[in-house]
Amino acid sequence: MRLDRRAVVLGLGGAAVDAAPLGVALAALAYDNPEDMYGALRQQPAEVLALGESRIRVVFADGAPGLDRARVLRWVQTAAAALTAYFGHYPVSDYGLLVIAGPGDRVGHATTFGYAGSATRIHVGVDADEAAFHRDWVLVHEMVHTALPDLPRRALWLQEGNATYVEPVARAMIGQLTPDELWRESILGMPRGVPGADEGGMDGTQAWGRLYWGGAIFWLMAEVAIYRDTSGRSSLRDALRRINRESGGNRADWPPERLMAVGDAAAGTTSLQHLYAAFAERRVAPDLGDLFRQLGVGLNAGGQVVFDDKAPLAALRRSITSR
Ligand SMILES: [Zn+2]
């Protein structure tokens, strides 16, 4: 189930914890060091996908024996299409993807780096079928990480939250997820990001629920704040596109304050700067029930998603997943 799979450890330049069987763990060790990943991307044969001005270099680590290459490349193309839909173009000029084959029937963990070029190392089970690739969210999540500048460690929640928030939106934009699925996951997942009574601001948090879902709550609230402050003229997507263009993606190192200021300049507001200051420094416990009511989305007694198109933010909710 997808929500459980989100518990797979996704790293951002950190050490991934490997809970996989020994065979996978040994294969992973070969490229655990990011220098080895960059070396493989430079030296091993690559399949190059051209997307407008951008190119994606897919390297099958050591030949990735057992993997269906055509299937893997279709999966990469589809993920790239989701990113292109969201950002208006593929978000980085050069992206390296190291695909490491291992046992299993699904996409495994992944880690993304930027300091020596935008790149991701990802583990793929040789028994993963078409449905497993269709369900996969990990690759789009990692690609989203490359679109924004790298941030200091204290702001990891902004990066994980952004990838958690944008990934299903981008996939919904190309029809890989339905709006129902996106909102169901948000309604079920975001409560995991609400701070406990004894927790403070988001900066420096290490708690998994807060890093991913707490960060996603921030970006959903940013979506609402920009919409309200501009009477619907600008969107979070506009802000993130500007941030992507000005930074060139995760090869750049920015402080979070600059990221917010550039996003606000695109939208003509100060929404992001205000929201960031509040979340970073002190405990913000959002009323998620009220937020979803205003967006006009909820779950009925049977657990099915129901929409209310008369809700005050229903138009925003619909615009989030439309192209
Ligand atoms: Zn991540």
Give the model confidence (pLDDT) of 183-228 as tens digits.
999 999 999 999 999 999 999 999 999 999 999 999 999 999 999 9
Distance, CA 322 to ligand 1 centroid (Å)? 24
Rounded distance, CA 53 to CA 117, Å?
Answer: 16
pLDDT recorded at residue 115: 95
Amino acid identity, position 302: G
**Residue 49: partners with Cβ closer than 8 Å, 6 or more residues away:** 55, 56, 58, 73, 76, 77, 80
Task: State in Å: Cα 13 to ligand 1 middle.
Answer: 10
Give pLDDT, residue 30.
Answer: 77
Q: How far is the CA of 4 from the centre of ligand 1 (A)?
A: 15
Kindly give the distance from the C-alpha atom of residue 145 to the centroid of ligand 1, in angstroms, as a whole number. Answer: 7
pLDDT tens for each residue of 47-90: 999 999 999 999 999 999 999 999 999 999 999 999 999 999 99
Task: Identify whether residues 91 and 143 lie together within a single domain.
Answer: yes
Residues 123, 159, single domain; the answer is no
Tell how far the Cα of 308 is from the centroid of ligand 1, in angstroms: 32
Task: Please give the distance, rounded to the nearest whole angstrom, from the Cα atom of residue 310 to the centre of ligand 1.
Answer: 35
pLDDT along the chain (323 residues), means of 10: 38 45 55 96 97 97 96 98 98 98 95 97 97 97 98 97 98 97 98 94 93 98 98 97 98 98 96 97 94 98 97 98 93
Using DSSP's 3-state secondary structure scheme, residue 284 falls into coil
**Residue 41 and residue 59 in contact, taking contact as beta carbons nearer than 8 Å:** yes
> H-type helices in the chain, by residue range?
2-5, 22-29, 34-43, 69-87, 130-135, 138-147, 156-173, 179-189, 208-209, 215-229, 236-247, 256-267, 271-281, 288-295, 314-320
CA of 108 to the centre of ligand 1 (A): 13
How many angstroms is it from 192 CA to the middle of ligand 1? 16
* Ligand 1 center from residue 159 Cα (angstroms): 7
CA distance 121 to 112: 7
Q: Are residues 89 and 169 in the same domain?
A: no
Neighbours of ion ligand 1 (CB under 5 A): 10, 160, 163
The Cα 153–Cα 253 span in angstroms is 11
Q: Work out the number of other CB atoms within 10 angstroms of the CB of residue 66.
A: 12
Show which of 78, 113, 147 is a domain's final residue: 147
**Do residues 46 and 109 share a domain?**
yes
Same domain membership, residue 164 and residue 136: no
Looking at 113, 147, 181, which one is the last position of a domain? Answer: 147
309 and 176 together in one domain: yes
| Angle at alpha carbon of residue 205, lines to 204 and 209, rounded to 5° | 155
> Residues 117, 253: one domain?
no
Distance from residue 80's CA to the centre of ligand 1 (Å): 16
User: Which of 94, 117, 147 corresponds to the end of one domain?
Assistant: 147
Considering the domain architecture, whether residues 126 and 196 belong to the same structural domain is answered as: no
Distance 311 CA to ligand 1 centre (A): 32
**How many angstroms separate the alpha carbon of residue 111 from the centre of ligand 1?**
7
Structural domains counted in the chain: 2
- Cα dist. 146→128, 151, 229, 249 in Å? 25, 12, 28, 5
Together in a domain, 207 and 118: no
Rounded distance from Cα 122 to ligand 1 centre (Å): 12
* Domain around 139: 2-147
Q: How far is the CA of 89 from the centre of ligand 1 (A)?
A: 21
Residues 124 and 161 in one domain: no
Query: How many Å lie between the centroid of ligand 1 and the Cα of residue 302?
Result: 32
User: Cα–Cα distance between 8 and 208 in angstroms, integer?
Assistant: 11
Q: Are residues 268 and 290 in the same domain?
A: yes
* Rounded distance from Cα 197 to ligand 1 centre (Å): 26
| Separation of CA 166 and ligand 1 centre (Å) | 11
Both 7 and 124 in a single domain? Answer: yes
Please give the distance, rounded to the nearest whole angstrom, from the Cα atom of residue 142 to the centre of ligand 1. 6
